[in-house]
Structure 1
Amino acid sequence: MGTTTRDEVRRLVAALVEIETENPPGNERPCAEYIADWFADRGVGADLIEEPDEDRPQVAVRVGDGDPTLVLNGHIDVVPAGDPTEWEYDPYGAAVVDGSLFGRGSVDTKTGVAIGMLATARLADKIDAGDLPGSIVFHAAMGEETAEPGTKTLLERGYDGDYGVVLEPTGLRAATREKGLAWYEIRILGEPSHASRPDQGRNAVLRARPVLDALAEYDATVRERTDDLVGWAYSTVTMVDAGMKENVIPESATITVVRRFLPDEEIGDIDAEIDSLLAEVEAEHDVETSWERTRTYESAAISADSALADIFRRHSAEVGDAPDEPWGIEASTDMRNFVNDANTEAITWGPGDLAQAHTYDERVDLEAAADGLHALLGASCEILSSGLESNAARE
């Protein structure tokens, strides 16, 4: 990959990182407008889609009307940067140090969006010139970090295709399987009283103990469930919230549980497990509880020997040392919208290290980003030139 291309990748990643798009609250508009203008400057039509939230538009591009159609998908929202004093480099400064670009969203997923933009523009030139018979679609989606239906809406609006690539950081490994994610909030009820009279009330924090014990046992049981590509299932307590004042016995406590589930687990069965767990605690400990599943990312899977994945494995191997065997990603991505909602064969693939996502001093290696663009262009040209025999049937 030449110096000119590496510089082009660096400039575009930096421009995207410098636009703050934290979610919550959801501030994608400035970045979406930048991307639409970027395409317009290159003679490529881009649509601002003001659904599902008119205040938070997303971008969709379609070039060509031939078969097959390949969709390149990335999201432009990022998690909040957190405490700025914990960052060595400005989270929105896009500093480049020793070949890495630092900033919130640099790896998750503005580098993926950047190489998707560059690839789409270059493929558009080939399609318009008649050199590629297929078509290309590009998404810059909103709301991925909070499970909002950005990608789902774009697919429903007709920005779909025969194949999809979700441009998350995988170290250029092609993921054909991914875990699901469900967030539960469990509420334990008590009765308030003045802390000088602790026996007058019912302390919800103390009453939460048997619930926490039961959740620990549940996690141990869940971890016995495994998948050969994505590893173990988990059920992790991540937050406990209780109390309103130092001298008041808390009347309620809320436990947040993150449940990472495998492709062969069903969300209805997991709901039933949580319900049964709490029913047993209530019966044994005279505790009153309620629960709500507040957010869900479904799991997704296609055949491990997918032809789509195989092409990306081969082109990735040409630019780096990514293993070419079947692989799955432990995180949850918008791949689920392609596979589950649109019945479209899709993989999760992209440059960067997933371990950098959501961290202080998040960064991406710019050489790896340029390699990613090279592999993406090669794989896309092969697909759009010859097509594939779809095998989108899930395992």
Structure 2
Amino acid sequence: MTDTQYTELETLIAELVEIETENPPGNEGDCAEFIQSWFADRGIDADLLTDPYPDRPQVGVSVGDGDPTLVLNGHIDVVPAGDLEQWEYDPYGAERVGNSLYGRGSVDMKTGVAIGMLATVEFASAIESGDLSGSVVFQAAIGEETAEPGTKTLLEQGYDGDYGVVLEPTGFKTATSEKGLAWYEISVVGDPSHASRPDQGENAIDGARPVLDALASYDETVRERSADLVGQAYATVTMLEAGTKENVVPERATITVDRRFLPDETVTDIDAEIDELLSDVESAHDISTSWTRTRTYESAAIDPESPLATTFRDHSAALADAPTEPWGVQASTDVRNFINDAQTEAITWGPGDMTQAHTYNEHVDLEDAATGLEILRSAGREILAGEGG
């Protein structure tokens, strides 16, 4: 990579980080318009799409009509910066310190978006000149952080292809499998009374205790389930909310459960497990409960030896000494939309340290970013030339 190309990459990452795109509430619009304009300045048509939300546009780019088609995907929303006093650097200042660039979204995942944009321009030029026979699609999606259908909608609207690369920070490891995530809110109903007369009411917190015990046993059970690439399943209680005032016996307690599940588990099966668990607790303890699943990221998997995965593992090993063995992501990404919804062979792959995601003083190593662009260019060219795998 030349000095000019390195500077262009650093500048683009910084420009993307400087645009605040927190979700919630969903402030992606300015960033989507920037990306559209950036492509226009380079002679490439980029569409602003107002589905699924008119006030939160996302971007789709499509170049070429040959086979195969490679889709590069990145989400432009970021989690809120949180307590600004905990940041040593302005979360939207894109400050460079040594080889690191600091800011919310620098790792998750505006560096991935930046290398996808730059690679798309290079591939577009090669496709239009006839040097590459395939086609390239770029997606800048909204709503990934809150399981909204940004990527799903882009795929449905024709920004799809034969292969997909979700450019999340994996440290150049090629993920062919990922866990699913389901959040459950379980409510335990009581009967309020003044705390000076506690026996007059029915304390929902007392009712929550056997539910918590049952959930602890359930977690022990699901931890016995595992998959080779993504490890154990979990059922973790993450929140307990109850009460309205210090001297009021609470009428409701709400328990939140984070359920991480494996590619061979389905949310339908897990719903049934939660139903059975609560039914047993209600019968044994004479309490009333209800539940709702508030968010779902489906699990997903492809053949670890797929042509796409093999190509990216080989190029990552050659250029970044990345591991060559199959690997899976324990978090959840929009790769599920490619695999489950569009039946597209897809991987999760990109530069950056995933442990930096959602942290204070989030930062990306710019040398890693440059290496990531080099790998994406070389692996992408092999795929687009019809040579992948």
**TM-score relative to the length of structure 1:** 0.97
Q: Map 1:282-301; keep pairs closer than 5 Å.
A: 282-301=282-301
The C-alpha deviation readout for 1:107-161, integer Å capped at 9, x for no partner, is 1111100000010011111111111111000000000111111101000000000
1:137 is matched by which residue type in structure 2?
Answer: V
Are 1:371 and 2:371 counterparts?
Answer: yes
Q: How far apart are the structure 2 equivalents of 1:178 and 1:147?
A: 15
Q: Map 1:318-337; keep pairs closer than 5 Å.
A: 318-337=318-337
Q: How far apart are the structure 2 equivalents of 1:238 and 1:363?
A: 27
Q: How far apart are the structure 1 equivalents of 2:288 and 2:387?
A: 58
Structure 2, unmatched stretches of 5+, are none
Runs of 4 or more off by more than 3 Å in structure 1?
none
Are 1:348 and 2:348 counterparts?
Answer: yes
Q: Which residue of 2 aligns with 1:95?
A: 95
1:339 is matched by which residue type in structure 2?
Answer: I
Q: CA deviation at 1:286?
A: 1.3
Q: Which residue of 2 aligns with 1:393?
A: none
Provide the secondary structure at the position in 2 that maps to 1:236: strand
Q: How far apart are the structure 1 equivalents of 2:374 and 2:37?
A: 24
Q: CA deviation at 1:388?
A: 4.5
Q: CA deviation at 1:98?
A: 2.2
Q: How far apart are the structure 2 equivalents of 1:190 and 1:171?
A: 49
Q: Which residue of 2 aligns with 1:14?
A: 14
Structure 1, unmatched stretches of 5+, are 390-395
Q: How far apart are the structure 2 equivalents of 1:24 and 1:48?
A: 21
Q: CA deviation at 1:206?
A: 2.2
2:157 is matched by which residue type in structure 1?
Answer: R
2:268 is matched by which residue type in structure 1?
Answer: G
Provide the secondary structure at the position in 1 that maps to 2:71: strand
1:300 is matched by which residue type in structure 2?
Answer: A
Q: How far apart are the structure 2 equivalents of 1:101 and 1:210?
A: 48
1:214 is matched by which residue type in structure 2?
Answer: A
Q: Which residue of 1 aligns with 2:221?
A: 221
2:250 is matched by which residue type in structure 1?
Answer: P
Moved more, 219-228 or 198-207: 198-207
What is the CA RMSD across the aligned residues, in angstroms? Answer: 1.0
Q: How far apart are the structure 1 equivalents of 2:90 and 2:196?
A: 47
Checking the alignment, whether the CA contact within 8 Å between 2:382 and 2:388 is kept in structure 1 is no
Are 1:208 and 2:232 counterparts?
Answer: no
- Percent same amino acid at aligned positions? 71
Q: Which residue of 2 aligns with 1:147?
A: 147
Q: How far apart are the structure 2 equivalents of 1:87 and 1:321?
A: 32
Q: Map 1:53-72; keep pairs closer than 5 Å.
A: 53-72=53-72
Checking the alignment, whether the CA contact within 8 Å between 1:67 and 1:387 is kept in structure 2 is no
What is the number of residues matched between the two proteins? 389
1:12 is matched by which residue type in structure 2?
Answer: L
Q: Which residue of 2 aligns with 1:382?
A: 382
Q: CA deviation at 1:324?
A: 0.9
Checking the alignment, whether the CA contact within 8 Å between 2:67 and 2:386 is kept in structure 1 is no
Checking the alignment, whether the CA contact within 8 Å between 2:237 and 2:256 is kept in structure 1 is yes
Q: CA deviation at 1:35?
A: 0.4
Provide the secondary structure at the position in 1 that maps to 2:380: helix
Q: How far apart are the structure 2 equivalents of 1:98 and 1:186?
A: 47
Checking the alignment, whether the CA contact within 8 Å between 2:311 and 2:388 is kept in structure 1 is no
Checking the alignment, whether the CA contact within 8 Å between 1:68 and 1:387 is kept in structure 2 is no
Q: CA deviation at 1:387?
A: 4.6
Q: How far apart are the structure 1 equivalents of 2:285 and 2:160?
A: 52
Q: CA deviation at 1:233?
A: 0.4
Moved more, 105-114 or 238-247: 238-247
